């Protein structure tokens, strides 16, 4: 079983559209009698050639080597336009990149409004190792990159959904000798191609829309530089944060429908935004696909499709709880990008957001059902403040 790209010499593959690319991503050459996507290979050790040892086969031991994982990496790599290494979670991938690249005395710039465990990790661990850590809001303004080793952008940022201009910032960072990493979790490789826009490396949680079924954790790093990939691969092999074979297989199976899922999620988000924009009992509505959103000018150039995630403010925690409880279709849950619409009041996790701030992740329900359900739930929830 090979982990190489599908039909690498096939010139038509380069022109395939998103749905075709997702369905075929990472699949081995068709072989009569074999499945489309080979089943998961469960192995810690593999049989070795008694004379040549591990040199004779790509599979020696399960931590560095697994054929199911390699097929998933080929698939994600095709979609991102680079080589990919998968990790046990998004956090494993992001912290792995940071720890593999940064050394004491280096400076790293991180998003001030991005996924908060990355900031917590930087403050607790990187700063303690002698790495200087700076935080910059995703929408800017950005400081000079002189003396910076690595800039991590998270765009669109979770949960505020601001957007950073990857091409402009990569140009400025490279001129100063800094590396640029982009967290592509919210957009997914179909929504945004950071490596094409000049980023050196993509990091992401595959737990969200990429796999989209709310049943596994996954992360990945993708890059074009062989040196960077070698560093990341070495880091993963020696620290061991690999996903299991079954999760890798489930993720690959789920990837085939990414185009379809994103299309419905994005259409649902657009319809929900239209509903919420018309209500004077909802404030702070943010969605990068909305023409009067502050992120729209960059988002409309940079994103290939708009995410299914939006945010708004319902005033207080009580009203958020009443809204979710009144809905038949909105699950109270963290995470986002799944098949099921879910709402998360981010302040309950310690995010620096207002008490009534909600991140809503639109699922793949029928748009008409979702909009009707949300409208009714908001009506039932009443206005902010406890019901008397």
Name the residue nearer to ligand PLP (CB basis): 136 or 217. Answer: 217
User: What's the min distance (Å) between Cβ of 97 and ligand PLP?
Assistant: 11
Residue from 59, 66, 68, 89 binding ligand PLP (CB under 6 A): 89
What tokens appear for 368 in the block? 């008409």
Q: Choose one: 2-10, 90-98, 243-251, 315-323; the region binding ligand PLP (CB under 6 A).
A: 90-98
Q: Choose one: 13-21, 87-95, 232-240, 251-259; the region binding ligand PLP (CB under 6 A).
A: 87-95
In this structure, the number of other CB atoms found within 10 A of the CB of residue 75 comes to: 28
Site string for ligand PLP, 142-181 (x = CB under 6 A): ------------x---x-----------------------
Partners of 345 in the β-ladder: 358
CB-side neighbour CA atoms (13 Å) of 235 = 22
Q: Residues in contact with ligand PLP, total (CB under 6 A)?
A: 13
Residue from 80, 86, 115, 320 binding ligand PLP (CB under 6 A): 115
Name the residue nearer to ligand PLP (CB basis): 59 or 205. Answer: 205
Q: Choose one: 33-41, 88-96, 266-274, 324-332; the region binding ligand PLP (CB under 6 A).
A: 88-96
User: What's the min distance (Å) between Cβ of 89 and ligand PLP?
Assistant: 3
Residue from 68, 188, 207, 211 binding ligand PLP (CB under 6 A): 207
Cβ 147 vs Cβ 345: under 8 Å = no
- List alpha helices for 81-217, DSSP H: 90-101, 116-121, 166-175, 188-191
User: What's the min distance (Å) between Cβ of 144 and ligand PLP?
Assistant: 26
Kindly state whether residue 192 participates in binding ligand PLP, applying the rule CB under 6 A.
no
Name the residue nearer to ligand PLP (CB basis): 112 or 372. Answer: 112
Q: 225 in helix, strand or coil? A: coil
What tokens appear for 352 in the block? 């620096």
Tokens 């690249």 belong to: 101
Q: How far apart are CA 114 and CA 301, in angstroms?
A: 21
Q: Of 325, 319, 327, which Cα lies nearest the Cα of 386? A: 319
Contacts of 362 (CB under 8 A, 6+ apart): 265, 266, 268, 269, 272, 308, 309, 310, 341, 370
Judged by CB under 6 A, the chain residues 325 through 354 that form the site for ligand PLP are: none
In this structure, the number of other CB atoms found within 10 A of the CB of residue 12 comes to: 8
The footprint of ligand PLP (CB under 6 A) covers 89-91, 94, 115, 154, 158, 183, 185, 205, 207, 217, 219
């Amino acid at each position: 079983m090979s982990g190489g790209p599908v039909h690498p010499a096939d010139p038509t593959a380069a022109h395939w559209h998103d749905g075709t690319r997702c369905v075929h991503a990472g699949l081995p050459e068709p072989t009569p009698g074999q499945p489309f996507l080979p089943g998961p290979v469960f192995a810690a050790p593999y049989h070795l050639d008694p004379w040549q040892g591990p040199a004779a086969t790509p599979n020696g031991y399960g931590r560095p080597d697994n054929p199911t994982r390699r097929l998933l990496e080929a698939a994600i790599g095709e979609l991102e336009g680079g080589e990919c290494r998968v990790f046990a979670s998004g956090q494993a991938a992001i912290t792995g990149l940071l720890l593999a690249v940064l050394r004491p005395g280096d400076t790293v710039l991180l998003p001030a409004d991005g996924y908060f465990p990355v900031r917590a990790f930087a403050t607790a661990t990187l700063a303690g190792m002698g790495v200087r850590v700076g935080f910059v809001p995703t929408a800017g303004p950005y400081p000079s990159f002189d003396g910076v080793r690595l800039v991590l952008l998270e765009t669109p940022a979770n949960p505020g959904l601001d957007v950073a201009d990857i091409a402009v910032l990569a140009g400025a960072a490279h001129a100063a000798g800094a590396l640029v990493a982009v967290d592509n979790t919210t957009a997914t490789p179909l929504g945004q191609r950071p490596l094409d826009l000049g980023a050196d490396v993509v990091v992401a949680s595959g737990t969200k829309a990429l796999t989209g079924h709310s049943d596994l954790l996954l992360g990945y790093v993708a890059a074009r530089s062989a040196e960077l990939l070698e560093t990341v691969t070495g880091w993963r092999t020696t620290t061991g944060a690999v996903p299991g074979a079954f999760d890798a297989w489930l993720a690959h199976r789920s990837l085939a429908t990414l185009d379809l899922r994103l299309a419905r999620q994005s259409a649902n988000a657009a319809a929900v935004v239209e509903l919420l924009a018309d209500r004077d009992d909802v404030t702070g509505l943010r969605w990068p696909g909305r023409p009067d959103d502050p992120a729209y000018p960059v988002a409309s150039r940079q994103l290939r499709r708009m995410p299914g995630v939006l945010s708004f403010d319902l005033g207080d925690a009580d009203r958020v709880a009443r809204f979710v409880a009144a809905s038949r279709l909105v699950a109270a849950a963290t995470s986002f990008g799944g098949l099921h619409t879910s709402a998360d009041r981010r302040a309950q996790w310690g995010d620096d957001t207002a008490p009534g701030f909600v991140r809503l992740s639109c699922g793949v329900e029928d748009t008409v059902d979702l909009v009707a359900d949300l409208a009714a739930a908001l009506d039932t929830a009443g206005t902010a403040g406890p019901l008397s």
